[in-house]
A and B are shown apart, each in its own frame.
Chain A
Amino acid sequence: MISLSHVAVRQGTFVLNDVSLEIPACRYGVLMGRTGSGKTTLLEAICGLRPVSAGSIRLMGRDVTRLKPAARGIGYVPQDTALFSTMTVRDHLAFALVVRRWSRRAIAARVDELAAMLGIGHLLDRRPRGLSGGESQRVALGRALAMRPGVLLFDEPLSALDDQTRHEMYDLLRSIRRQVAVTVLHVTHNRLEAEYLADRTFELSGGGVSLVSCSPGAAKS
């Protein structure tokens, strides 16, 4: 579950005030809004990358408002993927597990499982340089999913992809939803993404959030 209650975030002169939204556990929420409306700022606040000046953020029933990003149990996929240029795809998938000191055997098994799920088994020894946009997004997604987070946060992950790759990613995201019990908040300005993926669609405008549509199970159809 992702629950924001009267959250206020300040970034320079830009202010998000009294933002509240709720996405039930294992549902797919899409947050829409125009460029500059504060979508990324809000997502960063949920990640813990930006301080919240008022209100509270609860993830999976736990108040994380004052917790560091590392303690929030989230998977984050930024717009530019932010892959680690010195690491192989295998290292990316293993990263969060190495930090958590999983055993070598458990890491190898999880990496294989993720690679099969995301269709990137043939890329495991490649570095980010030279990967296509779709491949990079799959790696970023795998890196975020590796430690089985309860919450996934996507910041316009498909905005730089061509139409065909984007549709492949829609299918992949739906397939992941069927396989993984995870609550998702997906930020985008693309209405088509909301139609394809969302259980709940929110609109961010004028510094506040409103629920636009609620169709439980839509993404499962």
Chain B
Amino acid sequence: MSPEYPSRPAEAVDSPAAPSAYEPSRVSAGRSDPLFALGQYTLLGSYVALIFALLGALAWFTSPEHLLRAMGTEEIRYALRLSLVSCTLSTFLSLWVAIPGGYVLSRYRFRGRAFIDAMLDVPIVLPPLVIGLALLILFQTLPGRAVERLVPVTFAVPSVVLAQFTVACAFAVRTMRVTFDQINPRTEQVAWTLGCSRSQAFWMVALPEARRGVLTAATLAWARSLGEFGPILVFSGATRMRTEVLPTTVFLELSVGNIEAAAAVALLMVVTALVVLLVARMFGLRGTGLI
């Protein structure tokens, strides 16, 4: 529906004494503002309600008994351990690449920068199964096989970390690039004039100022890794007690019709993710005066 704008009455055009349709008292802003705000709150509220409904449905479907029974299974405990370890490793690897990568894209102008910037979107926009397939094929090529001879990757634990890293890193680089974009480069320039080399200015000034962005990138990479399923299914397989992570468990339990166990593991994933996000946020904001 297109908005209607008040049109000026015809008699007002020629008659100076006629009240103007544009007098402040006649402007309808007073009435439309609450409606506008209400519309926005309603839309946001609907989405938040949907999220709560999803979590509520999981919690309602799962009893503590289901959860305890699921945690009593050796396979699920292994999947939880592998998820926590692999997500943490892929997060560290992602930050290792994302911090310098985001800094380069934000601070330097060079030939091919736009191309690299566009390439970073590939892992984000590609279907997860395609990423898994591409990884699988990559490790069948000559260089891939050479790596396999040194460290078995495909259908082994390293493939889980690599699959998670491939996607999570793209999100982390994006986050770090935006973070450095928002930091005034003048602070580093002042540091140069005070005697710093570029690397000293980065470590002493830019990186400390980017710490919240680093934390955001880490939590985003970790959460993204925890939920990664498609590439892991294709590249790592779904072998119990070997390459099974929590999303794989949900898939395996669903495929044998054990919906209670699948829902229990799903709830476990939600709780794990929430705990990590909350701890990371509290840790990251400590000393900033915000908590």
Contact = CB atoms under 8 A, between A and B. Distances in A.
A70 interface: yes
Interface stretch (B26-34, B68-76, B166-174, B190-198): B190-198
Contacts of B208: 84, 86-87
B195 A86 contact: no
Interface string A52-89: 00000000000000001110101110101011111100
Contacts of B40: none
Contacts of B204: 95, 99
A80 B184 contact: yes
B253 interface: no
- Which of A69, A75, A76, A147: most chain B Cβ within 10 A? A69
A109 interface: no
Contacts of A143: 190, 194
A99 B200 contact: yes
Q: Tell me the interface secondary structure of chain A in the complex.
A: loop
B193 A82 contact: no
Interface residues of B, number: 19
B113 interface: no
A40 B153 CA distance: 55
A100 B195 contact: yes
B252 interface: no
A95 B191 contact: yes
Nearest to A143: B194
A144 B192 CA distance: 11
A219 to B, nearest CB: 24
A48 interface: yes
A42 to B, nearest CB: 15
Interface of B: 184, 186-187, 189-197, 200, 204-205, 208-209, 211, 289
Query: 10 shortest A-B CB distances, which residue pairs?
Result: A69-B192, A82-B186, A96-B194, A86-B208, A76-B193, A99-B195, A69-B193, A82-B187, A70-B195, A82-B190
Given A68-B192, A70-B192, A83-B187, 16 more contacts: A48-B192, A49-B192, A70-B197, A72-B193, A78-B189, A80-B184, A82-B184, A84-B191, A84-B209, A86-B211, A99-B196, A99-B200, A99-B204, A129-B289, A143-B190, A146-B194
